[in-house]
Structures are given as C-alpha cells and as structure tokens.
C-alpha cells in the first residue's frame, strides 16, 4: 500500500514537472516574440534596433523573463529525468505522456506563430496601410552589391519566422510517426490534410519549405508536402484578412480564390505529374563527364537533407518526454545548418535576378516578366499585398494580379530546399512552372478583360 501511494506521488510530481516545463517554455516563446514584435510593454519603453524597420524591441525586463524561463525549464527537465528513471524501473510506459507533450509543444508553437503574425496584422488593419519592410538602409549598398543587401535584409526581416519554422520542422522530425501518418496517402484526402495543416501556420514560402522538407524526409508523401508548403503562404487566415481589408474587392477575391486554387489544386496536379520522379532515386548513371559531375553534385546536395538519418528505426524519440526533449534540439540544429545557408544563397540568387525588374506597364510582356520574377522572388508573408496595391493605384492591373498569386506561392530558396529534400530538381521545376503559368494567365486576363 505504501509503495502504491509512493508511486502515485512520484507520478503526480512527474506530471507537475512536465506541466511546469511547458509553462516555462511558453514564457520563453512569449518573451522571444515580444523581442521581435514589442507588445507586452508600452512601445515607448523599448529600445528599438533596426532602421527603418524595427528588428528587435528590447527591454531590460526581457533578461529577467528569459533567465526565469531557462532556469525553470532546466529544473523541470532535471526532475522529469530523475522521475523517469524510477518510473521506468517500475515498468511504466511513458509513450502516452510523450505524445501529449508533443501536442502541447506544437500548440505552443502555433500560438506563438499567431502572436507573431497577429500583432502586426492588428496594427496594419488599424492604420489601414502596409509597408514593405527594410531592416537595413539598402541605399548604402553599391549597385553590384545590392543583391547582397537585399538578401541580408530579407533574412533579418524573417529571422523569427525562420526560427519558428526550424523549431516546428525539428518537432515534426522528432515525432514523425505521430504527425505524418495522415500525410502518407496518395489520394486527394491526404492532399487536403496537408493543405489544412498549413492554414494555421502563416509562413512565407522560404520558411514553410524547411517544414515541408522535414515532413517529406520523415515519410510524408509528395502531394501533401507540396500542399502544405504552398498553402502556408497562400491560405493562412491572416493574409486573407489583410487582403480583404487593404485591397479592392476583385483583387481580394483573386487573392483568396487564387490561393485555394494554387494551394490545393495546382499542387495536386504537380504531385501527379512529378510523382514518378520521387518514387525512385533520380540520380542514375549516364554516359559523359557532364552528366556524371552533375549527378554527383545533385546527390551530394540531396544528402544534406537526409534529416531522417538522425532518427533510429524504432523511433525512440517518442518513448518518453525527456527522450523527445533531448532529441528535438539536435534535429533543429541539424535542420538549421542546412536550411539557413540554402535560404540565404537562394535569397541572394533571387535578388540578383529581380534586379532587372522592368518599368511598370500594363501589357502582356510585363505580365510575363513580373510573373516570372514573382515565382523566383522571396518575400515575407503579406508583402505581396502592398506591392500589388501600389501597382493597382498606378493602373497596372495585370502585373498586380500576377504578383498576388506568384509572389507568395514559391521562391528560389523554397524550390531549392524542396529539390534537395526530394532529390529531384524536376519536381521543383514543375511546381515553379505551374505557378508561373497560373500567374501569367490571370495577369493576362486582368489586362484584356
């Protein structure tokens, strides 16, 4: 009887420590998002870093909050680790607790993401205008260095979103059997599940790609992965709200309806067309030095994205909460080492390409160029809205319509990350071409109709 009471006390203490760890993690996430957005205290109390766009809102109280969060998490984890040793020696099965913890962690990250997007969205709706962020004065860069400045500016603007993408991607890898089960089918239902999972995650294409690649390497099938990656920037609710508030009615309807078409139907078509290329290794022996060298390069690049190599076949990461917590940061770090450099290089390439944007004109030629650049260019979430709004005011309806659909959907960094994870640049090419074709067709319709 005494042993039973002691075991119950041990379990109660263990559950309290787990709840405490989640609470302190919530405090950590809240503090970090406040450092990015500045909403807990009066705006005049923050030391603002970044010009003209603020990158960091710093207040000395952040130090105390961060210290309390980290110390609380460390103490809770230590207690959990010790309690698990006792519970396991008594034959306890902690997999259910690990699943519940994974759900709690995922919920915290989604809430954090909504705060990150919701705070500026509220301010934008209140002011009735949305500007294009600039973290560093790009005018200070010489002409040939401007793409570098653009790439640095972009990475600085999306540092928090990128961090969230890596953390969520690492969590998907750590608990892959539980989260990707619904994304393993080849039918339209699994495809819809991928798109639906993206609705509450308002990532830009560059930040959605690491999560998509993690899902794919963890066992999800091509269609749902493409649906998630494209739907995150196209179908998130915050973008719909801003489009409805800041764009003329027909353009708002285009952004919402076009997002559904591209996020769901177009990605489904892309998966059907390109599915055969990811069903087996793409790199095959071909005669000639050029083919041999290019094949080796593609294979080497693809190996960087084999994140699942960090996972043991028995998926031990879910056998207890502390096993999950110890594996998760390692996977995030492995993901970051590959994805962040790829995103930066992709941003640099895209910035160099778009440096030749033509003067605005409402004709088919300009629509074609703009649709191509919109497919290649990387932008933070919502940025397509002010760009299109400016073109609409100038009477450039066709290019504005094309950018509303192509700019958020994909980008060079997004396509490169997906290609590496899927070991097929042809899949990325098909997806990019389909997005371009839709943008071209819609832009042409707005020019001539």
Query: H or E stretch including 56?
Result: strand 56-58
Give the pLDDT score at 368. Answer: 92
Give the pLDDT score at 280. Answer: 44
Give the pLDDT score at 414. Answer: 86
Q: Are 373 and 357 in contact (CB under 8 A)?
A: yes
- Which residues of the chain fall short of a pLDDT of 50? 1-3, 5, 279-288, 290-291, 294-295, 311-316
Give the pLDDT score at 116. Answer: 85
Q: Are 121 and 241 in contact (CB under 8 A)?
A: yes
Q: Which two tokens stand for residue 43?
A: 């705006």
Q: Which two tokens stand for residue 328?
A: 């998760």
DSSP 155-213: HHHTHHHHHHHHHHHHHHHHTHHHHSGGG---SHHHHHHHHHHHTT----HHHHHHHHH
List Cβ neighbours of 449 (8 Å cut-off, separation of 6 or more).
none
Give the pLDDT score at 240. Answer: 79
From residue 112, how far is each of 15, 26, 123 by CA, in Å? 23, 8, 17
pLDDT in tens, 28-68: 999 999 999 999 999 889 999 877 778 899 999 999 999 99
Phi/psi at 58 (nearest 5 deg)? -110, 135
**Torsion-angle region of 315 (φ positive above 0: left; ψ -120 to 50: alpha; else: beta):** left
> SS3 of 284, please?
coil
User: Cβ of 209: how many Cβ atoms within 10 Å?
Assistant: 35
Give the pLDDT score at 284. Answer: 40
User: Cβ of 393: how many Cβ atoms within 10 Å?
Assistant: 10
Give the pLDDT score at 291. Answer: 43
From residue 347, how far is each of 151, 337, 374, 379, 387 by CA, in Å? 5, 16, 13, 9, 18
Give the pLDDT score at 315. Answer: 46
Domain spans of the chain?
A: 137-448
pTM: 0.69
Distance CA 391, CA 431 (A): 26
List Cβ neighbours of 239 (8 Å cut-off, separation of 6 or more).
202, 233, 255, 259, 381, 382, 385, 408
Q: What residue has token string 């160029």?
A: 369
HSE-CB at 120 with a 13 A cutoff on CA atoms is 23
Give the pLDDT score at 303. Answer: 61
Distance CA 378, CA 376 (A): 7
């Amino acid at each position: 009887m005494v042993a039973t009471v002691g075991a119950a006390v041990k379990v109660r203490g263990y559950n309290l420590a787990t709840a405490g760890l989640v609470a302190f993690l919530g405090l950590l996430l809240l503090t970090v998002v406040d450092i990015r957005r500045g909403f807990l205290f009066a705006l005049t109390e923050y030391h603002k870093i970044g010009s003209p766009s603020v990158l960091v809102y710093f207040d000395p109280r952040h130090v105390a909050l961060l210290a309390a969060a980290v110390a609380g998490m460390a103490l809770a984890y230590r207690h959990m680790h010790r309690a698990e040793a006792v519970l396991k020696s008594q034959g306890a099965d902690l997999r259910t607790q690990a699943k519940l913890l994974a759900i709690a962690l995922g919920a915290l990250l989604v809430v954090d993401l909504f705060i990150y997007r919701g705070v500026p969205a509220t301010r934008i709706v209140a002011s009735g205008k949305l500007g294009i962020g600039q973290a560093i004065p790009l005018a200070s860069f010489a002409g040939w260095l401007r793409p570098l400045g653009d790439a640095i500016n972009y990475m600085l603007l999306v540092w928090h979103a990128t961090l969230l993408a890596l953390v969520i991607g690492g969590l998907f890898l750590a608990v892959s059997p539980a989260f990707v089960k619904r994304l393993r089918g080849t039918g339209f239902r699994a495809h819809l599940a991928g798109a639906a999972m993206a609705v509450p995650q308002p990532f830009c294409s560059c930040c959605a790609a690491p999560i998509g690649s993690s899902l794919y390497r963890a066992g999800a099938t091509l269609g749902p992965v493409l649906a998630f990656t494209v739907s995150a920037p196209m179908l998130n609710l915050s973008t719909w709200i801003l489009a409805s508030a800041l764009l003329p009615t027909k353009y708002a309807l285009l952004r919402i309806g076009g997002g559904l078409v591209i996020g769901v139907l177009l990605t489904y078509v892309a998966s059907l067309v390109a599915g055969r290329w990811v069903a087996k290794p793409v790199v095959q022996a071909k005669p000639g030095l050029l083919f041999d060298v290019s094949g080796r390069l593609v294979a080497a690049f693809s190996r960087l994205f084999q994140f699942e190599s960090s996972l043991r076949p028995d998926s031990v990461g879910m056998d207890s909460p502390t096993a999950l917590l110890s594996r998760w940061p390692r996977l995030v770090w492995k993901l970051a080492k590959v994805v962040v450099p790829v995103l930066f290089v992709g941003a640099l390439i895209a910035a160099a390409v778009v440096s030749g944007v033509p003067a605005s004109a409402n004709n088919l030629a300009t629509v074609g160029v703009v649709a191509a650049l919109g497919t290649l260019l990387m932008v933070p979430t919502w940025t397509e809205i002010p760009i299109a709004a400016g073109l609409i005011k100038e009477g450039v309806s066709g290019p504005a319509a094309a950018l509303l659909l192509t700019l958020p959907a994909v980008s060079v960094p997004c396509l490169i990350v997906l290609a590496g994870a899927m070991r097929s640049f042809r899949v990325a090419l098909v997806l990019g071409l389909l997005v371009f074709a839709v943008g071209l067709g819609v832009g042409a319709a707005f020019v001539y109709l």
